[in-house]
Structure 1
Amino acid sequence: MAVSTLAQDLPTSDVDPFSHEVLENPIAFQVALRDVGPVVHLTRYDVYAMGRYEDVHAALINWQAFQSGAGVGLSNFRYEEPWRPPSLLLEADPPRHDAPRAVLSKILGPRALRKLRTAWFSDAEELVEDVVRERQFDAAERLAMAFPLRVFPDAVGIPREGRENLLPYGDHLFNAFGPPNDLVEKGNRRVADLSAWVNAQCARDVLADHGFGAQIWAAADRGDITPEQAPLVVRSLLSAGVDTTVHGLAAVLYAFATHPEQWQRLREEPYLARVAFDEAVRWESPVQTFFRTATTDIEVGGAAIPDGKKILMFLGSANRDPRKWTDPDAFDLARDPSGHVGFGMGLHQCVGQHVARLEAEALLTALARRVKRIEIAGPARRHHNNTLRAWESLPVQVELT
């Protein structure tokens, strides 16, 4: 990272963190970012970047000074019109954020999800049995993508027709949090049609009677949220509830395929499935970045961030910060990964994280029962996204029990 220093001793860099080179492998950039200082001014986009765990964590929990309401992407809603209605969960602060958050927290909480556990474990066993008998397959496509698309849309209650739109829509949404580069341009061709389809799925009369979507509309009937808020809350599930889990599952499958000793430990101690998923989320950080906006002049580590400026928080960097984690580049089931910021932290922490953990537990439990060994079987390809760390293809071969 080429760094210069301003008069107030604030390091600056002209590196583009959204370049394909960095998106392919962000580790070297993240190391340099952390080493330079607590805050670096990225001159290309005039944003202030944080890569150290302590500073990222502090910013995430301080919603009063580091607001989400001006957008969690590069676009600043103080000065720019968002391309779609802002999310009531990700892109709102109290008090606007409170009622939708409370409704979803109850619907997606651990107690509410218990009724899905048996069905999801059964679905995972069926899927795994169908896939692993082939011995060699693309784990990104056949498992990491297939399982969330198999169970989550049913849980929300959307119709089967058109579900192939979910991943492209989410991919564009997370690309749009970054700069208007070639990744955004690629998605712009379909965004109008994809957005129209997603919005249509949020209507009361489209949703099944007993899914998450119907429960959100029931909350509107009770007055917990307004009827105008209900479709936006449903949309938040369809926007952020699929891609992030897909890439989290791909991360944990990649981790086990490259760490056979950890796979053996999971097979011996299957209760570690959720720990494994969280460790993979820390290690790979499927959500790499989020932005906040300074609500006042802020000092971080002696550096001044002016009011109204965007702050780019590198969650993936914080999750590998050696100031926080021992041997951070290792994927290790002996580690306690709690405290990672892969799901965010504080008021805006991912409301669907319990859903993702249940999906991961079901899939990993089924795999551990049937698969003795899993290893990479060919060239794996990354999928580039301005926000997400993802796999396009993850060829593996397995040895069955």
Structure 2
Amino acid sequence: MTAPSSPRTAIAASDLDPFALDVLADPLPGQQELRDIGPVVVLERYGIYGMARYEQVHAALTDWQSFQSSAGVGLSNFRHEKPWRPPSVLLEADPPHHDAPRSVLSKILGPRALRRLRDEWMADADDLVASVLSRSTEFDAAIELAQAFPLRVFPDAVGISRTGRENLLPYGNHAFNAFGPSNSLVADGAPHVAGLSAWVGTQCTREALTDNGFGAQIWAASDRGDITAEQAPLVVRSLLTAGVDTTVNGLAAVLYAFATNPAQWQRLRSDPASMRNAFDEAVRWESPVQTFFRTTTRAVDFAGVTIPDGSKILMFLGAANRDPRRWEHPDSFDLDRDPSGHVGYGMGLHQCVGQHVARLESEALLTALVRRVESIELAGPTRRHLNNTLRSWASLPIRVRQAR
């Protein structure tokens, strides 16, 4: 089937529902199908366009003038629909409104901050791994490592209270679900949204934050006039949303990668300098953020077709990161690969501003594991946590052999 787009050509169409629960549980076959159909595909179920090949996804991500974020990075089109919460001043904004918050956060999360945190996070990771291994050599890595470590160190760095941190993952889960359609996943979270949103909003106020964390620095930037007082809590909120769930799932991805590729774990142990490369390869391979939307700002001639003004474009980041047109043996997790250029953190001016923080968390956790663990393997069936946007884990049981 085809859907006409202009006199020049026709765009191939697909009836695939990328948000169907079975597809979310196993997205790879559908991603391959969309890549094979063509560079741009009409997704008939939603009346939108899709891109699953690396070349087109990368091009659209870097062309914010044609493919805007300010109309929403989810299925909802903010030109016509009211968002469920105030839009993100980073993720759902374009220049010039995007520039000042981005500049402020880039400085706060820059090299100086990472140098300050490095020794502390390395010690925290070592303490966490030692504690887990003292209890058992079989445990759920998704819960006891991938979730536990970011929830231990990152909220401290932001400067929020220790009370109520159990709300962070449910809030983020709903926020990322809400980028998709109003399906059962969104409905499951809806009864809790008001309470979760109120708690997160309180954490973003100046009064709730410690005086030495990222949050306090954001408010200080508003005092200097770098951003407005209205923007400050929204920037803090961005940290608490995008800075936790994506890292949790990135850490789970790298642990799963090593548990299912034992030779690569030995490769890492023989060359610990490859730790940061390992995290990026895992992000390419698993793509914790699977999809994001853009909206055309005008009729756009793209990949040989014309996409009308105001069209929603679903970009399949996970599909692009496994596109054989870009990557050799893309379905393999390989520490000898150069994964730079993957779109797991986005690309262009909306590329994840906190990606270096996530890399440091991964480096700290892997360093602690390499020091203490000789081998990692799966200890039972894994279980996915379904989300409209994220590739998540509900359970990742592993068995380790401790180093002598």
TM-score strictly above 0.5? yes
User: What amino acid is the match of 2:171?
Assistant: Y
Which of 195, 198, 202 is equivalent to 2:197? 195
Structure 1 residue 34 corresponds to structure 2 residue 35 = yes
Do the aligned residues in 2 keep the contact of 1:248 with 1:277 (CA within 8 Å)? Answer: yes
Structure 1 position 113, deviation (Å): 1.2
1:6 aligns with 2:3: yes
Which letter maps to 2:125?
A: A
Confirm or deny: 8 A CA contact 1:38 1:300 kept in the other structure.
no
Q: 1:231 and 2:233 equivalent?
A: yes
The 2-side partners of 1:10 and 1:49 are apart by 10
- Residue by residue over 1:47-101, the C-alpha shift from the partner in whole angstroms, topping out at 9 and shown as x without a partner, is 1000000000000000000000000000000000001000000000000000000
Distance between the aligned counterparts of 1:6 and 1:87, measured in 2? 33
Q: Distance in 2 between matches of 1:168 and 1:274?
A: 28
In 1, are the aligned partners of 2:260 and 2:378 still within 8 Å (CA)? yes
> Deviation at 1:14?
1.4
User: Partners of 1:382 and 1:58 in 2: how far apart?
Assistant: 31
Contact 2:3 2:42 in 1 (8 A): no
**Partner of residue 16, structure 2:** 15
Q: Deviations over 1:116-137 (max 9, x none)?
A: 0000000000000011231000
2:266 pairs with 1:269: no
Q: Which residue does 2:211 correspond to in 1?
A: 209
Identify the residue that residue 125 of structure 2 maps to in structure 1: 124
- Between stretches 313-322 and 9-18, larger displacement belongs to 9-18
Distance 2:302 2:111 in 1: 36
**In structure 2, the residue corresponding to 1:16 is in which secondary structure?**
coil
Cα distance in 2 for partners of 1:159, 1:122 equals 21
2: CA distance between counterparts of 1:178 and 1:32?
20
Q: Distance between the aligned counterparts of 1:37 and 1:12, measured in 2?
A: 9
What displacement does 1:9 show? 2.1
Give structure 1 stretches of 5+ with no counterpart: none
* Separation of aligned partners in 1, 2:111 and 2:288: 22
Aligned mates of 1:183, 1:52 — CA distance in 2: 27
Aligned-residue offset at 1:243: 0.4
Amino acid of the structure 1 residue aligned with 2:256? Y
Match of 2:292 in 1: 290
- 1:97 aligns to what? 98
Partner Cα separation in structure 2 for residue 394 and residue 324 of structure 1: 30
Aligned equivalents of 1:6 and 1:290: distance in 2? Answer: 23
Amino acid in the other structure paired with 2:380: G
Aligned partner of residue 309 in structure 2, secondary structure: coil
Root mean square deviation of aligned Cα: 0.7
Residue deviations 1:123-179, cap 9 Å, x none? Answer: 000000011231000000000000000000000000011100000000000000000
Query: Tell me, what secondary structure is at the counterpart of 2:39?
Result: coil
Structure 1 residue 300, shift from structure 2 partner: 1.9
CA distance in 2, matches of 1:231, 1:197: 13
**Among 314, 339, 342, the residue aligned to 1:340:** 342
Who is 2:301 aligned against? 299
Output the CA distance in 2 between the equivalents of 1:110 and 1:326: 32
* Structure 1 contact 100–225 (Cα < 8 Å) conserved: yes
Opposite residue 174 of structure 1, the aligned amino acid is F
Residues in 2 aligned to 1:45 and 1:250: alpha-carbon distance in whole angstroms = 31
Match of residue 111 from structure 2: 110
Report what 1:374 is aligned to: 376
Identify the residue that residue 146 of structure 2 maps to in structure 1.
Answer: 144
Question: What displacement does 1:298 show?
Answer: 1.0
Q: What one-letter code is carried by the residue in structure 2 that aligns with 1:5?
A: T
Which residue in 2 is equivalent to 1:240?
242
Q: Which one-letter code corresponds to 1:54 in the other structure? A: E
2-side partners of 1:215 and 1:124: how far apart? Answer: 25
Instruction: Please state whether the residue corresponding to 2:10 is helix, strand or coil.
Output: coil
Matches within 5 A, 1:310-329: 310-329=312-331
Distance in 2 between residues matched to 1:203 and 1:252, nearest whole Å: 34
Give CA deviations for 1:13-51 in whole Å, capped at 9, x if unaligned.
Answer: 111100011101111111110111000000111110000
Deviation of residue 301 (structure 1)? 1.6
Alpha-carbon distance in structure 1 between the residues aligned to 2:112 and 2:41: 42
User: Contact between 1:140 and 1:391, CA under 8 Å: does it hold in 2?
Assistant: yes
Equivalences, count: 398
Task: Report the alpha carbon displacement of residue 6 of structure 1 after superposing the two structures with TM.
Answer: 2.7
Tell me how far apart the structure 1 counterparts of residues 325 and 115 of structure 2 sit (CA, whole Å): 37
Between the aligned partners of 2:98 and 2:202, the Cα distance in structure 1 is 23
Q: TM-score, normalised by structure 2?
A: 0.98
Looking at structure 2, the residues matched to 354 and 189 of structure 1 have their Cα atoms a distance apart, in angstroms, of: 34
So what's the TM-score if we normalise by structure 1? 0.98
Q: Deviations over 1:319-365 (max 9, x none)?
A: 00011001100000000101000000000000110110000000001
For structure 2, the 5+ residue unaligned runs are none
Match of 2:66 in 1: 65
In the alignment, is the contact (CA less than 8 A) between 1:40 and 1:48 conserved in 2? Answer: yes
Secondary structure of 1:10's aligned partner: strand
Cα distance in 2, alignment partners of residues 396 and 320 from structure 1: 25
1:283-342, CA deviations, whole angstroms, 9 ceiling, x for partnerless residues? 000000000000011122212211001000000000000110011000000001010000
